Structure 1
Amino acid sequence: MATALVTGATSGIGAAFARALADRGWDLVLVARDEARLDAEAARYRAAGRAVEVLRADLADRADVTRVAARLEEQDRPVDLLVNNAGFSVRAPLLSTDQEAHDRAFEVMVRAVQVLSGAAGRAMVQRGRGRIVNVGSTAGRITMGAYSAIKAWVTVFTEGLSNELAGTGVTAMALEPGWVRTEFHARAGISGSSMPSALWLDADDLVAAALRDLSRGRVVSTPSARYKALMFLVRHGPRSGVRRVSKALSGRRRSSLPE
């Protein structure tokens, strides 16, 4: 039976991936910080007949990242699909003198993605099969501060990884969601009313589209026709226009945040 390891697996897009994969018959390794939620999610999947392992890990802690990487490299318990999903919004301004939020963001959404992708990729190449999904964002195509910069890195990193994996039987795909109705945006203080309703996506629909793209060998997946169209305009339009729109969106986000 195939096994998938999902980080940030107890909420949002990560939980949607876990649900979708369990429904398709996959066994799971769930990685997150909240042990109680991990156990609750695991119990639900086990009741449905799936084999589930839980790894409590804070991916801002390098020792925890090393533990998860070691699990990915175990050849006697192979992981066939890695979903690097753990992440969070970065509200700290680029000019902030306090670097704590930026440091944590880099650890979780840059360094951990690189370390875990590398561990999974090495093990998968030895077996001649496997898939890696790194969750980026359409924000990486625009200019909304540190989060945009980090997610741009995720896409470019994954494209480079895909080049390195060519011909090995292992694939890598960057998933670029738009705004998705999950706890992620609620925690960031972004309400449904603060952004146009047409921009919001359903997490389960998003993951279904991502898994279709993964099966087709896509290197970059941007689910939904509306986001494909928007990202076409972003890629081919003038960067000055992208910056203006990004500035307006950033201002709208800030106005929706609690004091």
Structure 2
Amino acid sequence: MNTPTTALVTGATAGLGAEFSRQLAQEGHTMVLVARDAARLQQMADELERDYSVKTEVLPADLTDDAGVAAVVGRLTDPERPVEILVNNAGIGLLDSFENNPVEDERMHLRLHVQTPMELCHAALPGMLQRHSGRIINVASVAAFANRGTYSAAKAWQVNFSRWANLAYGPSGVHVTALCPGFTHTEFHDRMGMDKSVAPRWMWLRADRVVRDGLAENARGKGVSIPTKRYKLVAAVSRVLPARFTSGPPRRAKQ
């Protein structure tokens, strides 16, 4: 059992972020919850306090703009309230092809998946290294090993960064893990308007399993975590197949 400390989760009100919040609260950690919607944050905080008797903080912040990121950086660098666990989970998906997306959407997508996690890791690491203790989970995707446009490219950055950071900082007591789930039953695909029937039933995972595996493998010091044997196989095959075969099922809008 992990010693309860403080954990900060971005995108904490839905999907994998909400599941991370519940499982970390169940372990007894004080929770710092970050998302844009203040009302949903408070609902999540009330749920965690009621169900797990933990202390919570809510930090409304838009992680696609400088002011929102600065607020979270400020919390991560507060020496009086150290954060021991950082989960970079906030993310979005874009349904259309790169050439059809407004460049503003692509810029926001890149900010949320690459620049913001980099800035939050950079903020959290000095304190963790000073304490010789800390855990960071960057929620990536098995798409990082495939070829699915800018989403794959952004998630590949998270995987490569996490693998390197885990090697660099693991000997100092800081574990950094890229969690790479496949299709998972959350609000993510619904928010982007994707028809979920394009992926067969066997490809869909449960959020509780994904989070449980990610937390366990991060605690063991793994740089990359791919939940389930079937997705480990998908990732391994994707590395050796020609690029044209690794684009995955086509995205299709809900009718």
TM-score range (shorter-chain normalised) is: over 0.9
Post-superposition offset of 1:149: 0.7
Alignment match, 1:29: 32
The residue type equivalent to 2:244 in the other structure is: R
Post-superposition offset of 1:9: 0.3
Alignment match, 1:231: 235
Equivalent position SS for 2:8: strand
Aligned length: 251
- Please give the residue correspondences for 1:1-259 in structure 2 after superposition, counting only pairs within 5 Å: 1-48=4-51, 49-96=53-100, 98-235=102-239, 237-238=240-241, 240=242, 242-246=243-247, 249=249, 252-253=250-251, 256-258=252-254
Could you tell me which runs of 5 or more consecutive residues in structure 1 were left unpaired when the two chains were aligned.
none
Decide whether the 8 Å contact of 1:132 with 1:172 is kept in 2: yes
Post-superposition offset of 1:245: 3.9
TM-score under structure 2 normalisation?
A: 0.94
Gap change, CA 1:257 and 1:191, over 3 Å in 2? closer
| C-alpha distance in structure 2 between counterparts of 1:69 and 1:63, whole Å | 10
Could you tell me which runs of 5 or more consecutive residues in structure 2 were left unpaired when the two chains were aligned.
none
> After TM superposition, what 4+ stretches of structure 1 lie above 4 angstroms from structure 2?
none
TM-score under structure 1 normalisation?
A: 0.92
| C-alpha distance in structure 1 between counterparts of 2:48 and 2:198, whole Å | 35
User: Cα RMSD between the aligned structures?
Assistant: 1.5
Gap change, CA 1:97 and 1:50, over 3 Å in 2? closer
| C-alpha distance in structure 2 between counterparts of 1:180 and 1:59, whole Å | 23
Deviations 1:183-233 (A, max 9, x none): 001112234422110000000111111111112111100001110111111
Post-superposition offset of 1:18: 0.4
The residue type equivalent to 1:88 in the other structure is: I
Deviations 1:28-86 (A, max 9, x none): 00000011100101011112311000000000011110110110111211111000000
Post-superposition offset of 1:97: 7.1
Equivalent position SS for 1:171: strand
| C-alpha distance in structure 1 between counterparts of 2:14 and 2:202, whole Å | 22
| C-alpha distance in structure 1 between counterparts of 2:213 and 2:229, whole Å | 11
| C-alpha distance in structure 2 between counterparts of 1:157 and 1:96, whole Å | 29
Deviations 1:130-150 (A, max 9, x none): 100001101111111111111
| C-alpha distance in structure 2 between counterparts of 1:58 and 1:228, whole Å | 33
Decide whether the 8 Å contact of 2:95 with 2:253 is kept in 1: no
Equivalent position SS for 1:139: helix
Equivalent position SS for 1:5: strand
Equivalent position SS for 1:6: strand
